Amino acid sequence: MKIRFALALLIFPVAAIAQTQPATPDAPWRFVVAGDSRNCGDVIMPAIAEGAKTNGARFYWHLGDWRAIYNFDEDMAQAAVMAGTPLQVQSYLRGAFKDALDNQLKPFDDRAVGVYVGIGNHETVWPMSRAAWVKAFTPYLDIAAIRDQRLKDDPSDTTVHTYYHVVTNGIDFITLDNGSCDMFDDAQMTWLKKLLDRDAADASIRTIVAGMHAALPDSRSCGHSMGNYPIQQKTGREVYAMLLAMRDKNKKQVYVLSSHSHFVMDNVYDTDYWRTHGGVLPGWIVGTSGAVRYRLPETATPGPMNRTDVYGYLLGTVTANGAVSFEFREITPKDIPADVVKKYSKNFVENFCFAANRSMTPQEGYCPPMSQCSISNP
């Protein structure tokens, strides 16, 4: 038995074991969420891991975009220079996903904080693929909590998926895949409809928290969302309608989380479109775990939850009735662990990641004319 347990630790992350432990039913508990850890994610993610531990978070939920793929990530390039082995294209592509596992997720494992992973559009940038990402991230996509839930739903479903769900203390945490312009595809839509039908009929499910990379269409950041592609706009609106029905018809509490845009924003779906097409769901964008920081769209109103040029995460606090409140916790230079600063250099951490890692191109709040599926959406 001891030998088998030791082997399990070699195969699965420590966090996979930690996050299977149940919370006390009536005690408030916490989780953290963010996405988009390319560019400087190897610098920022260890600080998020420490923040998750400090706040007693049960798990960290990453909403996709781990490495840039279309170009070198600056943190990987800097680490290679510091080690005296500058990156080449092939060595970068061979090591990109492994780098994310080693430098972004291992800090959570080391702190015994659970991890749920999502896929973003950069994981499907050629020459990478959805299949390659699944292969690399299977140790996190097939942890006991996910695998047990999948087999409970369908004992014949032994396949690891990019979309999945886990029920914890009456809350269904649903991870969706809109990492390419052909999503949500028919298989995922069929799966989600069945899942939400079960949740609607289950009185023990009080809350739905849906997480995905790109925001659903017609949001306040619509110019960089599922509104960019015809299939995504159609299926995204259908998913929004299903979630709205869960709240209004089935009386479940519903929250929608996304990243993709590299800033933090709340009240994402408080738009003219959704006010006149069924209602407004509570939603957040939090693409702040290391990626180049975007300008806020013209639809953003000033406030503590509408910010750019920041890194950090949403801290979710769950109360006994399943309600979830969110607050943004910022990561500053002083939060970066000393060993990380040493590995990348103080100059890189402060003068590139915190000072220069930003794009000045304005983001559009309202949807532009739809692009064709072949056009990239960085």
Count of beta carbons in the 10 Å neighbourhood of residue 148: 12
With cut-offs at 50, 70 and 90, classify the pLDDT of residue 304: low
Per-residue pLDDT of 96-148, as tens digits, reads: 999 999 999 999 999 999 999 999 999 999 999 999 999 999 999 999 999 99
pLDDT for the residue numbered 222? 79
Per-residue pLDDT of 21-59, as tens digits, reads: 444 556 899 999 999 999 999 999 999 999 999 999 999
More confident position, 182 or 239: 239
For residue 146, what are the CA distances in angstroms to 157, 161, 270, 311? Answer: 12, 10, 32, 28
Instruction: Give dist(CA 343, CA 46) in Å, integer.
Output: 12
Instruction: Give dist(CA 365, CA 221) in Å, integer.
Output: 4
Q: What is the DSSP letter of 127?
A: T
The neighbouring-strand residues paired with 256 are 210, 283
From first CA to last CA, the distance across the chain in angstroms is 48
- Three-class secondary structure of residue 355 per DSSP: coil
Per-residue pLDDT of 249-290, as tens digits, reads: 999 999 999 999 999 999 999 999 999 999 999 999 999 999
Specify the amino acid at residue 348. F
Phi-psi region of 65 (alpha: psi -120 to 50; beta: other; left: phi over 0): left
pTM for this model (two decimals)? 0.89
- Three-class secondary structure of residue 175 per DSSP: strand
Cβ–Cβ under 8 Å, residues 268 and 284:
yes
DSSP string, 305-347: TBB-S-EEEEEEEE-TTS-EEEEEEEE-GGGS-HHHHHHH-HH
The mean of the pLDDT values for the chain is 89
With cut-offs at 50, 70 and 90, classify the pLDDT of residue 210: very high
Residue whose pair of structure tokens reads 């940038």 in the numeric block? 125
Closest residue by Cα to residue 160 from 176, 141, 175: 141
User: What residue spans of the chain are helical by DSSP H?
Assistant: 2-11, 14-18, 41-54, 74-82, 89-100, 106-110, 130-141, 144-153, 186-201, 230-248, 272-275, 338-344, 346-347
Sign of the alpha-carbon dihedral angle for 69, 75, 80, 81: positive
Percentage of the residues of the chain whose pLDDT score is greater than 90: 79
Domains and CATH numbers, the chain: 28-354 (3.60.21.10)
Cβ–Cβ under 8 Å, residues 290 and 38:
yes
Q: Is the pLDDT of residue 176 over 60?
A: yes
Cβ–Cβ under 8 Å, residues 254 and 216:
no
More confident position, 32 or 230: 32
Per-residue pLDDT of 4-26, as tens digits, reads: 433 344 444 544 444 444 445 56
Sign of the alpha-carbon dihedral angle for 270, 296, 162, 130: positive
More confident position, 364 or 84: 84
pLDDT for the residue numbered 372? 43
Mean pLDDT of 308-312: 96
Instruction: Give dist(CA 250, CA 254) in Å, integer.
Output: 11
With cut-offs at 50, 70 and 90, classify the pLDDT of residue 306: confident
pLDDT for the residue numbered 350? 98
pLDDT for the residue numbered 257? 98
Mean pLDDT of 290-313: 86
Q: Is the pLDDT of residue 378 over 50?
A: no
Count of beta carbons in the 10 Å neighbourhood of residue 119: 28
Q: Is the pLDDT of residue 303 over 80?
A: no
Q: Cis peptide before 184, with omega less than 30 degrees from 0?
A: yes
pLDDT for the residue numbered 374? 38
∠ CA 374-375-378, nearest 5°, is: 125
